[in-house]
Amino acid sequence: MSYLKKYSDQVDTFVGTCHHLAKHQYVTGHGGNLAWKLEDDVILITPTQHWKGHVTRDNVVFLNMKGETIEGTARPTGETPMYVKFFNERPDIQAVLHCHPISLNTFAISKGKNWMMSPLFPETITEIGPVPVVPYGEPLTQRLADNFSPFLQRYNTFLMENHGMVMMSPRDLEWIQMCTDLLEMTARHVIGAMSLGQGIKEVTKEDVINLGNVMRSRDLPLFGAPGAWDSLEDMYFNNPDQKIQG
């Protein structure tokens, strides 16, 4: 049986996510891509040079963990080396999404503080966590993939400097799509608050500790690779990356 038939439901979800990104202008032109690890050595990935609104069941690609095509007639995204690195170095991860949300990408080009590292809303704190800016690397290059190395074990979501967003999760692609919407809305709220000129109000350390207790009671994992952090408050208040991120 072909992988397309074997994973028919997942392919439909995958295509639907591509169309969602296009509809909401999280991607334009040929930008953005996504990948979903369906088996230990099977990755469903987007084709290169396709607007995500035009991705269909007929042009998706299946790769192995070496980045080699095992099914599909289209060429896979040129960001394949980045995805291979992610899945190999973070075996806990099931799905990855890269896009360019309009408001969120403001923080990928801003010289100011990266507010995506701050505790701002309960949902963003417990479902996404801090979002560091990864230094610029030319798209489609090994350099870009390598620039993730200092951050890859410690976070699940990243802003690529002067480029876009990457989000990964141990959960499925539908979950990442919802979290992408949540993070974009968070960025809109920050930009709106900044326009008022009154500053940004962060969630307190005590309240972040309480949110961490909620996560533990619900058996929700912390972000990053298993064991990377001791607590949610450490991610926000005892995190050396906070100084680097402004």
> Where residue 127 sits, what CATH number does that domain have?
3.40.225.10
- Amino acid 139: pLDDT: 81
- Amino acid 138: pLDDT: 83
In a domain, 118, yes or no: yes
Residue 233: pLDDT band (50, 70, 90) is very high
Q: Which two tokens stand for residue 228?
A: 């990377």
pLDDT tens-place string over residues 13-32: 999 999 999 999 999 999 99
In a domain, 218, yes or no: yes
In a domain, 207, yes or no: yes
In a domain, 160, yes or no: yes
- Amino acid 246: pLDDT: 61
pLDDT tens-place string over residues 39-93: 999 999 999 999 999 999 999 999 999 999 999 999 999 999 999 999 999 999 9
pLDDT tens-place string over residues 209-230: 999 999 999 999 999 999 999 9
Q: Is the pLDDT of residue 208 over 90?
A: yes
Phi, psi of 234 (to 5 degrees): -65, -35
In a domain, 54, yes or no: yes
In a domain, 202, yes or no: yes
In a domain, 199, yes or no: yes
When pLDDT is averaged across residues 98-119 and rounded to a whole number, the result is: 95
Domain of residue 157: give its range: 3-175+186-244
Which tops the pLDDT comparison, 112 or 140? 112
Q: 0.75 exceeded by the pTM?
A: yes
Which tops the pLDDT comparison, 179 or 245? 179
Total number of domains constituting the chain: 1
> 125: buried, middle or exposed (CB in 10 Å: 19+, 13-18, 0-12)?
buried
Q: Is the pLDDT of residue 1 over 90?
A: no
Cβ(61)–Cβ(72) below 8 Å: yes
**Could you tell me what percent of the chain has a pLDDT over 70?**
99
In a domain, 181, yes or no: no
Quote the mean pLDDT of the chain: 95
